[in-house]
Structure 1
Amino acid sequence: MQYISVILAHPYTHSLNAAIAATVVSTLEKNGYGVYFHDLYQEGFNPLINGQELVADDSSDPLLRQHQEEICRAHGIIIVHPNWWGQPPAILKGWVDRVLRENTAYTFPTGDNGGGLPTGLLPAKAALIFNTSNTPAQREQDVFGDPLERIWKDCIFAFCGVHTFERLTFGVVADSDEATRQHWLQQAAEMVNKHFPATA
């Protein structure tokens, strides 16, 4: 069975983000995939990397090891989070810092001390990002330059060897009604079906 890593980063259990993640998981399972699901806030993921872990990749944190082992096996990666200040929430930034480490998510050629071009190690065939936002899409693009697109597509996933990428932003959430939210959930399911269709 192929497994997909699904990461949720939102502190409110009844949020639209949580509903998106639930839709993603149910769609994947219906299509015949196994799911590595993690709600970072609910499981208490520690986003803080300490000095020893930074310099020696040495950690006794069993949850961190579980995340790393799963991401190294995952056929796909799906991340759900809100747009906060044009960035992921701090807990998710810490997840990136601690989980997507050298020799886990990427490496460098022998003799390269890290200044050259990396070789991505993640086996995922595609990475999907679902964002929620209270910033209108036009303003996000024209005023801010859509930093989340560059962060996830180029700075993280391309660096780690995952080049099939798609991101979908839902907003403005604060002005949305139930019908609109249900439509967004359907869009999320359709994007999952596009990249991870039924295996049988």
Structure 2
Amino acid sequence: MPYAVILAHPRPGSFNHALAHAACAALGRLGAEVRLHDLYAEGFDPLLEAPEMGRDAPLSPSLSLHCREIAAAEGIVIVHPNWWGMPPAILTGWVDRVMRPGVAYEFLEGDNGEGVPRGLLSARGAVVLNTSNTAREREVRVFGDPLERIWKDCVFGLCGVADVRRRMFETVVTSSPGTRQEWLRQTEALILETFSVS
């Protein structure tokens, strides 16, 4: 099964792009088939319209492709900057539209939507790579590291992916080229550690 790499940064050549390509390279060394989606480059529409909300709603061909790929992915890698303690809006919209009922989760029979859904994703693990210009100590002390909760509990935990590993690279704005090279090496090591077959 292929691996999905989802990148959300508007500037081509950003360090987020370098992280995504390092992840793809590491997956390639494992012999994995990789599907990279650069959401900004693709012009992904993040707006969830009302007619699309139902489980059996008709989907556009491009959205159907995203849904099929994420449902079949053996592993998932998400790459994005920390903006206001959240992913960029384009990635939040991707979650809204792709991590949908019947693809990423389902409610059990007899549940009117008030219960805890059952996750449907078959991925055996997920890696989330973030960049930030806030020092980690301040991020945790002042803000409580909301991205940790969003990805581990609210998205992947709900959708059935138990092994979720996250790495925040900070402080990017003052980092040296040597530091960034080390971060790319750490990214490849994390991908290999997470997805190597033991």
* TM-score bracket relative to the smaller structure: over 0.9
Amino acid at match of 1:141: V
Corresponding residue SS for 1:179: helix
TM-score (norm: length of structure 1): 0.96
Structure 2 equivalent of residue 91 of structure 1 = 90
**Residue ranges of structure 2 left out of the alignment (5+ in a row):** none
| Change over 3 Å in CA distance of 1:198–1:157 after alignment to 2 | closer
- Alignment root-mean-square deviation, CA: 1.2
Q: Give the partner amino acid of 1:197.
A: S
For residues 60 and 100 of structure 1, the distance between their equivalents in structure 2, rounded to whole angstroms, comes to 13
Distance 1:198 1:118 in 2: 29
The answer on 1:22 being equivalent to 2:15 is: no
Give the alignment of 1:4-153 within 5 angstroms.
4-55=3-54, 57-153=56-152
Identity, % of aligned positions: 51
Compute the displacement of 1:57 (Å). 4.4
Whether the 8 Å CA contact 1:32–1:198 is kept in 2: the answer is: no
The letter for the 2-side match of 1:136 is: A
- Contact persistence 1:30–1:198 (CA under 8 A): no
Q: Measure, in 2, the Cα distance between the counterparts of 1:175 and 1:32.
A: 35
The answer on whether the counterparts of 1:7 and 1:80 sit within 8 Å (CA) in structure 2 is yes
* Pair 1:176 & 2:169 matched: no
Aligned residues: 198
Determine the C-alpha separation between the residues in 2 that align with 1:54 and 1:123. Answer: 22
Alpha-carbon contact 2:55-2:102 (below 8 Å) kept: no
Q: For the Cα contact (< 8 Å) 1:132–1:170, is it kept in 2?
A: yes
Structure 1 residues 198, 178: CA separation in 2 closer, same or farther (over 3 Å shift)?
A: farther
Cα deviation, 1:153-194, whole Å, max 9, x if unaligned, reads: 000101000010100000100000100000000000000010
